């Protein structure tokens, strides 16, 4: 703990003490003396627009006490960038903080600012992997990963393999599914005209559905491919029927298959079959969504009428 008040290195600074709004103010916090003093010195440095070494040590102290303080991170980033500081050592300093405060997201915006300036993604994919081992669906880490892949064109640098590895660990990790979509399909719309890739991804989704037919993530992925590639659902009707044999309803193994089957029947103009599938969903396989399935049923009739 630093005692700024008696430290000669800080004697030129007149701290700006906390204004908390007086006795009427709501949700006041009884700050510790340590935090309160550090913040008073930070306000003074910010007011003077000082961009110096001691800003770095001060912000480091405050972050240690309160890592969810966006102002402190932003000011720190400003100093690092303006003064051309060693950004590598900043990343090394950041790593344990990120691992300690898994749910903190200011860290990831800061990291993005630093790595963008560094113009070098070395080590980042490895660190993301370590993070995701601790928290496999952390939204901020995945968002950072998207940014990184795009910023440094890492689409073909092990990302596909990494999503596959994560899905081997947990086939229902939807963040990994979404990242796979991002890696495969988001670069260029011409990918939809590449039958090699479209087939590969279709097979990938199908093979995962075989392993866990009631996994919504895989069905969403498969349906996304069908829709974007303009493939009619009827092309995979046989596959879908495996999981939703509508003529033997007691053997149905997936509500998502039944949902897709209803759409395939509609596409084929088999309205009564589509209604049968939607009734099974409303009554037996997904009744909490009864209102939605009823809506889908009513839409069948509307689309026939018009």
Q: Which of 22, 196, 230, 238 binds other proteins (CB under 8 A)?
A: 22
Taking the complex as a whole, the smallest distance from the CB of residue 182 to other proteins amounts, in Å, to 5
Taking the complex as a whole, the smallest distance from the CB of residue 126 to other proteins amounts, in Å, to 22
Q: Residue 224's Cα: distance from chain center in Å?
A: 18
Residue 292 in the binding site for other proteins (CB under 8 A): yes
Query: Which residues make Cβ contacts (< 8 Å) with residue 167, sequence separation at least 6?
Result: 173, 176, 177, 180, 208
Please classify residue 50 by burial: count the beta carbons closer than 10 Å to its beta carbon, then call 0-12 exposed, 13-18 middle and 19+ buried.
Answer: middle
Residue 285 in the binding site for other proteins (CB under 8 A): yes
Cβ proximity to other proteins: between 52 and 186 the closer is: 186
Taking the complex as a whole, the smallest distance from the CB of residue 129 to other proteins amounts, in Å, to 17
Q: Hey, is 164 helix, strand or coil?
A: helix
Has 103 been annotated as catalytic? yes
Cβ proximity to other proteins: between 53 and 135 the closer is: 135
Q: Which of 4, 204, 221, 265 binds other proteins (CB under 8 A)?
A: 221
For residue 32 the two structure tokens come to 């510790």
Sign of CA dihedral 159, 161, 162, 163: positive
Instruction: Identify residues 154-193 at the interface with other proteins (CB under 8 A).
Output: 169-175, 177-179, 181-182, 185-186
Instruction: Identify residues 34-53 at the interface with other proteins (CB under 8 A).
Output: 35, 39, 42-43, 46-47
95 in Cβ contact with 127 (< 8 Å)? yes
Cβ proximity to other proteins: between 42 and 91 the closer is: 42
Residue 6 in the binding site for other proteins (CB under 8 A): no
Site map (CB under 8 A) of other proteins, residues 103-142, x = contact: ------x--xx----------------------xx-x--x
Other Cβ atoms within 10 Å of 102 Cβ, number: 13
In 110-127, which positions are buried (b, 16+ CB within 10 angstroms) versus exposed (e)? bbbbbbeeeeebeebbeb
Cβ proximity to other proteins: between 91 and 226 the closer is: 226
Determine the Cα–Cα distance for residues 281 and 294; give it in Å rounded to an integer. Answer: 9
Instruction: Identify residues 61-90 at the interface with other proteins (CB under 8 A).
Output: 65-71, 74-75, 77-78
List phi, psi (to 5°) of 230: 70, 25
Cβ proximity to other proteins: between 4 and 285 the closer is: 285
DSSP state, 116?
H
- Catalytic positions are 103
């Amino acid at each position: 703990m630093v005692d700024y008040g008696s430290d000669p290195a800080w004697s030129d600074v007149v701290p700006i003490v906390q204004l908390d709004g007086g006795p009427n103010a709501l949700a006041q916090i009884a700050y510790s003396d340590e935090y309160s003093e550090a913040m008073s010195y930070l306000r003074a440095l910010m007011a003077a627009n000082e961009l110096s070494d001691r800003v770095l040590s001060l912000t480091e102290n405050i972050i240690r006490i309160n890592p969810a303080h966006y102002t402190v991170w932003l000011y720190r980033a400003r100093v690092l960038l303006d003064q051309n500081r060693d950004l590598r050592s900043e990343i090394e300093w950041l790593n344990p903080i990120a691992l300690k405060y898994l749910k903190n997201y200011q860290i990831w915006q800061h990291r993005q600012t630093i790595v963008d300036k560094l113009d070098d993604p070395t080590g980042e994919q490895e660190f993301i992997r370590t993070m995701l081992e601790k928290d496999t669906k952390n939204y901020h880490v995945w968002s950072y990963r998207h940014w990184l892949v795009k910023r440094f064109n890492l689409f073909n640098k092990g990302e596909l393999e990494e999503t596959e590895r994560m899905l081997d660990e947990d086939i229902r990790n939807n963040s990994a599914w979404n990242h796979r979509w991002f890696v495969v399909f988001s670069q260029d719309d011409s990918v939809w005209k590449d039958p090699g890739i479209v087939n590969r991804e279709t097979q990938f989704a199908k093979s995962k559905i075989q392993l866990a037919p009631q996994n919504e993530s895989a069905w969403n992925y498969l349906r996304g491919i069908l829709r974007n590639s303009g493939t009619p659902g009827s092309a995979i009707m046989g596959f879908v029927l495996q999981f939703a044999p509508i003529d033997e309803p007691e053997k149905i193994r997936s509500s998502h298959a039944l949902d897709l089957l209803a759409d395939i029947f509609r596409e084929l103009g088999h309205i009564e079959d589509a209604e049968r599938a939607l009734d099974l969903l409303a009554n037996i396989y997904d009744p909490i969504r009864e209102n939605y399935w009823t809506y889908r049923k009513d839409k069948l009739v509307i689309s026939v009428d018009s």
